[in-house]
Structure 1
């Protein structure tokens, strides 16, 4: 169970960081488009990591059943 706990914990941290980056990208949109694009790119990379963690947690649940 500790593996699932670590995956879920990582997911929550990444979700919070993703939300921050998206908000930051939105706020920079009017003042500095380059910073906005950078924040959005980082958010997309985090979204990819979240997707992989979601897959890992679903695979772990399938194997434990």
Structure 2
């Protein structure tokens, strides 16, 4: 398994977790605002990781000129 495949695999896992956290934050919004905020914060941190992985995978797929 090369680096790009590992990065894509991590992206998939993190994306699924991100979606779960966003849904959880939405569901908690009416009942427990503190839990909603915590879930949203965790989702934002995951989104940051996803953006970094996206940058890495883009860098690895570009061929030097």
Question: Matches of 1:64 and 1:12 in 2, distance apart?
Answer: 27
Instruction: Give me the TM-score of the superposition, normalised by structure 1.
Output: 0.94
**As a proportion of its length, which structure holds more helix?**
1
Q: Which residue of the partner structure matches residue 20 of structure 2?
A: 20
Which 4+ runs in 1 deviate beyond 3 A?
Answer: none
Consecutive unaligned residues of structure 2, counting only runs of 5 or more, are none
Separation in 2, partners of 1:31, 1:61? 45
Backbone CA RMSD of aligned residues:
1.5
SS at match of 1:30: coil
- Matches for 1:1-65 after TM superposition, within 5 Å: 2-63=2-63
| d(CA) in 2 for partners of 1:4, 1:19 | 22
Q: Deviations over 1:1-58 (max 9, x none)?
A: 6100000000000000000000000000000000000000000000000000000000
Aligned length in residues: 65
TM-score by length of 2: 0.94
